[in-house]
Amino acid sequence: MKAFISVDMEGMPYIVIPGHLNLRGSLYEEARKIATKVTLVVAEELNKNGFEEIVIADSHGPMVNILVDELPEYVELVRGYPRPISMVSGVEGCDAALFLGYHAKFGTAKSSFDHTYSGGSINRVTVNGVAASEFLLNAYVAGESNVPVIMVAGEAQLLEDDVEKYAPWAERVALKRSLSRVSAKSFSMTRIDKELRAAVEKAAAGFRQKKAKPLLAKKPVKMGITFLTSLFADVAELLPAVNRIDGLNVEFKTKNMVEAYNTFELLVLAASGTTYLLTDPK
């Protein structure tokens, strides 16, 4: 069997300030070690439970966060950004998916680094009218390849809001419980290690018993985006397939979720590029 792991950072334990999250951050190296430790624990336990191959998609920021020195031979690592289907690149051909370090969508109260894909440009994303977190977006893309999400580990509010609602069969591990956007409490890594291993074992057993289901978005897919500024909507509507609804909102339809996700990624990159041009016009 072959497992897929998508690894984000904001929902990882102990990661609480912006200095944890970017390449120049004062605590970035600490965050990398935490994310790598959590990922390797899960990968090791998956391998013990019958998954001979594991694809890990490094999925935060520039997507070069996981330390590579201790990767076991059964692991293949997807790194770098931009890339097709972004946080779930490599999911095709896998049997089951696990999401680690995931967080709640933008606007969630008292939730670490709440945002939806791009904190600098996106307020809200909907798929067929349903407000989507990164978990739901990525689960829909995985589902299109017939890959169910069997476990999610991350910020507690995401698990209680979205994972329990849309994927009740998935095992859930709360790596942190937020006190504010930039404060959270987490158990010791020793306890987290035990909880992750127990959850992987249960998730693997449930998968073998066919309890997990791929999440499927109704086709054609209608995606809506609410930007943080009207400028980003100005840029987005330059794409012929995009319809401008009002100052901040655009929408578009695609034949499937993969096309919707890649279009969304392109619009986020366009917004980021516009910001860069205006702040550093050299």
State the pLDDT confidence band at 277, using cuts at 50, 70 and 90: confident
Query: Average pLDDT of 221-225?
Result: 98
Domains of the chain, earliest start first: 2-113+134-208 (3.40.50.10780)
Percent of the chain with pLDDT over 90: 97
Q: What is the pLDDT of residues 112-140, one digit of tens each?
A: 999 999 999 999 999 999 999 999 999 99
State the pLDDT confidence band at 197, using cuts at 50, 70 and 90: very high
159 close to 166: Cβ distance less than 8 angstroms: no
Q: How confident is the model at residue 56, as a pLDDT?
A: 98
More confident call, 279 vs 112: 112
272 close to 229: Cβ distance less than 8 angstroms: no
State the pLDDT confidence band at 276, using cuts at 50, 70 and 90: confident
Distance CA 45, CA 238 (A): 47
Q: What is the pLDDT of residues 1-37, one digit of tens each?
A: 999 999 999 999 999 999 999 999 999 999 999 999 9
Strands 96-102 and 149-155: parallel
Q: How confident is the model at residue 158, as a pLDDT?
A: 98
